[in-house]
Amino acid sequence: MNLKMLLRFNWVLFASMLALLACGTVAIWSAGNAREAIFHGMWMNHLFTALIGLVLYFLLALTDYRIVIRLVSPVAYAVSLVLLIAVLAFGSTVYGGRRWLWFFQPSEIAKLCTLVFLAGMWAWANALEIPLKGFCAFSAFALAAAVPAALILLEPDLGTTLAFIPAAIAMLVAGDVGRKGVLIAVATGAIAASVVLGAVYEAEKPGQLPEKREAILRHLPLKPHQVKRVKTFLFPESDPMGAGYNLRQSLIAIASGGFSGRGIGKGETNRLKYLPSSVSMNDFIFCVWAEETGYAGSLLLIALYTALCSAGAWIAWAAADTAARMLAIGLVTLVFAHAYINMAMCIGLVPITGLPLPFISSGRTFLVTMMAALGLLQSISIHKEEST
């Protein structure tokens, strides 16, 4: 890395990522120590995975993003689709979903590859002077995003899809691709979500007849466990020891932390194992952190995510070309969506979706993918003044 690269290196982005990784290591250490011996070393796995991610981060940061967008993205996108099909055919089933192929999750890789491919599509269309504002252009971009999204939904993995789709939409808005098509898609999605929430409310409200409940739920595109999660969101006290147990314990943990927290390793909800080991280090790691560091620690996490996303937004604003701006916006939106949905579900603002918290939750594929995404962001910053 020469002097010019160092001057264009976004240190806020890098420092925010390292600080979040440090917070994640502490939280996983605390959550793991409160569990069986098999979980005690999870914090070391997190650090080791972060080191692998750091190597990939710098490899991508030092590689001109134009090479990745224009040359690598088609191959990466095609391989990711093959992996998504393979996981449906041969993957391992864990907690009711077929999401693992050997030791990694193809859905995490696919969402990053798809975002890079969308930026590549814009670059190729622009080079060939193909109009990008019509419905045909929107349809092509929407299809490219819809194929992996549909395959991820079949696993089923609704949470990953909910974080991925906003990032793809943000990219189309940034690239001014099919403006009317984007508006129609967003409006359709909002209406569909409202209809689903309304239908579940009507089916699960107290006193509803079983026959009518079954008739309503029969027409919803939701799995039984997803219906339970939406019901828990709408009626938090309806099943406190069943579907609503994790949310109930999450709220107790966060509230008991107070302003300054109970201290690292001293959270009672965590230490007494009220949160299951299957979620305490992953989807609900925020509860462990919030209980032990309090409101102040939660604000620290929010400040770090704000700094990271602001640095990414600055990189997007200063990008040398529209394809780079699209990719930067998509990657920032992906990180923001993950962070927002995870923390919001822990306090009951959105239904529980099983979505990890970036750089904090334990998870190999997810962590490496998130660090690779920031490596691409850093590449856009470093190589923005080079010739196109």
pLDDT tens column, 4-16:
767 778 999 999 9
Tell if the pTM clears 0.85, that is, is over it. yes
pLDDT (tens digit per residue) in 320-367: 899 999 999 999 999 999 999 999 988 888 888 878 999 999 888 999
| Listed residue (161, 157, 80, 83) closest to 116, CA to CA | 80
Q: What pLDDT is recorded for position 94? A: 67
Helix then strand then coil, in percent of the chain rounded to 5, is 70, 0, 25
Task: Give the CA distances from residue 257 to residues 24, 29, 210, 253, in Å, rounded to whole numbers and listed in that order.
Answer: 17, 18, 41, 6
Average pLDDT estimate for 88-100 = 74
Helix (H, G, I), strand (E, B) or coil at 387: coil
Q: Mean of the pLDDT values across residues 79-93?
A: 88
